[in-house]
């Protein structure tokens, strides 16, 4: 009997000890800038090893006040969670076995085959989209990333797409156009995502340009524009991070017509900026790669620094919808930043008032990934002026070159 009681006691102690295991995570900020709600990553392999997780075990992430934080396990095997760390200081977090609370999905996206294969995604700050094979099949030229500005924290893009594309609404508009044109116009405006109904809209113009920070090879001072993606795969879909892999049709670079571009794009909750890793097959030499933001006629308001690693631009002000701000940031060295205006035959083909690009020129090495950030802001949601935006981009560049360090024990 004593032996049985001893075994039961030992078993309970083992369970108790297993449940009390935890990982201490120290996040250190060695920069002179405060870091608010910035995502950090901890390898799930490390977590599994230290906590001896079973297949059914779940974990919780706790801050120093013992409050749960939202987290996400990403496609590449990392647990990501938001941290806030003052300049030149550190914060401690705990990961342990437990039942996580339910947290809202903040960052998400998908492909929209009903809207010409757009892939659109968003977080609590901003939204983006890129174009697919169905649009390319129409012959419309749209090379770069597009922006949807928003001024609400909850996801809105899917609902706005659905409203725009609802067949019953389309038929009703057509019917009203014959009997009541004013009502038809009002219903059309109420349905479209090109009108702000209090949560944002799409009024950015891409066209045959690099749009909001797309990259392209610059061969003999001429851009070799990418077109729409050929294949897409959503790798992460919230609650905190969206990641998509895009593969493109072959392009011709220096006589080689089999060069294939791949992009992996991720957007985190709370950030205005996407992280993007670009790679190319079949490249045999170091080539200049330009990351560009389209300049529209009516604004020459931009800032750029090769040494600091950023370019930023303020689109012309819209009297109704305000002003869109665009930027790109480079953790690695940039050879040159410059403005390149359209000229010659290229200038005659450009639509929507595009005048050229603000560019950052980097070297692309064969077999490598070119990593940078691109993003946008809006005068009606967090940035009152271009000066505010330029400051954000400058500081984001500093943070990108001085990432938070994570140590676990």
pLDDT digits (tens, 9 = 90+) for 144-176: 999 999 999 999 999 888 888 787 888 888 899
Average the pLDDT over 200-226 and give the result: 94
* Residue 4: band (very low, low, confident or very high) from pLDDT cuts 50, 70, 90: very low
pLDDT score of 349:
65
pLDDT greater than 60 at residue 14? no
| CATH no. of 21-101 | 2.60.40.1180
**pLDDT above 70 for 314:** yes
Provide the pLDDT for residue 203. 95
Asked if the model's pLDDT at residue 186 lies above 90, the reply is no
pLDDT at residue 294, as a whole number: 97
Measured distance CA(220)–CA(228) in Å, rounded = 23
| Share of the chain residues as helix, strand and coil, in percent rounded to the nearest 5 | 20, 45, 35
Q: What does the block give as tokens for 2?
A: 């004593």
**Model pLDDT for residues 316-338, shown as the tens digit of each residue:** 999 999 999 999 999 999 999 99
pLDDT tens digits, 21-62? 899 999 999 999 999 999 999 999 999 999 999 999 999 999
**CA distances from residue 56 to 59, 75, 97, 98, 347 in whole angstroms, order as listed:** 10, 19, 10, 11, 60
pTM to 2 decimals? 0.91
d(CA 139, CA 142): 9
The CATH code for residues 208-402 is 2.70.98
User: Domain segments of the chain: what residues?
Assistant: 21-101, 160-191, 208-402
pLDDT class of 18 with cuts at 50, 70, 90: very low
Check: CB of residue 131 under 8 Å from CB of residue 228: yes
Structure tokens at 292: 């560009």
Please determine, for residue 259, whether its predicted confidence score (pLDDT) is greater than 60.
Answer: yes
**Contact call for residues 196 and 321 (beta carbons, < 8 A):** yes
Q: What is the CA radius of gyration of the chain?
A: 24
CA distance 213 to 290: 9
Taking the C-alpha atoms of residue 212 and residue 144, their distance in angstroms, rounded to an integer, is: 6
How high is the pLDDT of residue 8?
36
What's the pLDDT band for 9 if we cut at 50, 70, 90?
A: very low
Cβ–Cβ under 8 Å, residues 107 and 269: yes
What is the structure's pLDDT at 167?
79
The pLDDT, as a whole number, for residue 343 is: 86
pLDDT at 5 over 70: no
User: Which of 120-134, 349-363, 392-406 has the least mean pLDDT?
Assistant: 349-363
- The structure tokens listed for 25 are 């995570």
Q: Are strands 118-122 and 78-85 parallel, antiparallel or unpaired?
A: unpaired
Q: Which pLDDT score is estimated for 20?
A: 60
Q: What tokens were used for 215?
A: 């990259």
pLDDT the model gives residue 357: 96
Q: Per residue in 351-384, pLDDT tens? A: 778 999 999 999 999 999 999 999 999 999 999 9
The mean pLDDT value of the chain amounts to 92
C-alpha distances in Å from residue 14, one per residue of 3, 20, 50, 232, 391 = 16, 10, 15, 47, 54
């Amino acid at each position: 009997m004593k032996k049985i009681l001893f075994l039961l006691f030992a078993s309970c102690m083992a369970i108790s000890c297993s449940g009390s295991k935890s990982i201490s995570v120290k996040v250190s900020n060695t920069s002179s800038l405060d870091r608010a709600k910035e995502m950090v990553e901890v390898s799930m392999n490390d977590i599994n090893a230290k906590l001896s997780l079973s297949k059914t075990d779940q974990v919780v992430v706790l801050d120093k006040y013992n409050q749960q934080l939202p987290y996400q396990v990403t496609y590449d095997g990392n647990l990501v969670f938001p941290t806030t760390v003052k300049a030149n200081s550190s914060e401690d977090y705990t990961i342990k076995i437990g039942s996580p609370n339910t947290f809202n999905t903040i960052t998400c996206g998908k492909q929209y085959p009903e809207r010409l294969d757009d892939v659109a995604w968003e977080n609590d700050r901003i939204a983006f989209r890129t174009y697919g094979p169905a649009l390319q099949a129409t012959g419309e030229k749209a090379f770069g990333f597009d922006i949807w500005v928003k001024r609400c924290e909850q996801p809105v893009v899917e609902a706005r797409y659905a409203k725009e594309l609802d067949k019953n609404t389309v038929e009703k508009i057509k019917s009203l156009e014959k009997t009541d044109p004013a009502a038809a116009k009002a219903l059309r405006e109420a349905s479209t995502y090109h009108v702000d109904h209090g949560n944002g809209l799409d009024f950015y113009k891409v066209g045959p340009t690099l749009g909001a920070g797309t990259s392209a090879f610059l061969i003999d001072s001429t851009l070799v524009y990418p077109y729409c993606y050929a294949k897409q795969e959503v790798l992460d879909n919230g609650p905190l991070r969206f990641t998509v892999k895009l593969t493109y049709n072959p392009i011709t670079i220096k006589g080689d017509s089999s060069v294939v571009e791949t992009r992996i794009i991720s957007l985190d909750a709370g950030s205005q900026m996407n992280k993007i890793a670009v790679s190319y097959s079949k490249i045999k030499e170091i080539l200049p790669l330009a990351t560009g933001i389209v300049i529209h006629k009516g604004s020459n308001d931009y800032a750029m620094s090769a040494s600091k690693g950023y370019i930023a631009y303020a689109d012309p002000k819209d009297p109704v919808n305000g002003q869109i701000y665009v930027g790109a940031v480079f953790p690695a060295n940039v050879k040159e930043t410059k403005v390149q205006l359209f000229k010659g035959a290229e200038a005659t083909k450009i639509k929507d008032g595009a005048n050229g690009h603000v560019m950052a020129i980097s070297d692309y090495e064969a077999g490598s990934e070119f990593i940078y950030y691109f993003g946008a802001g809006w005068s009606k949601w967090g940035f009152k002026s271009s000066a505010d935006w330029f400051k954000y981009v400058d500081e984001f560049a500093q943070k990108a070159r001085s990432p938070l360090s994570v140590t676990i024990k």
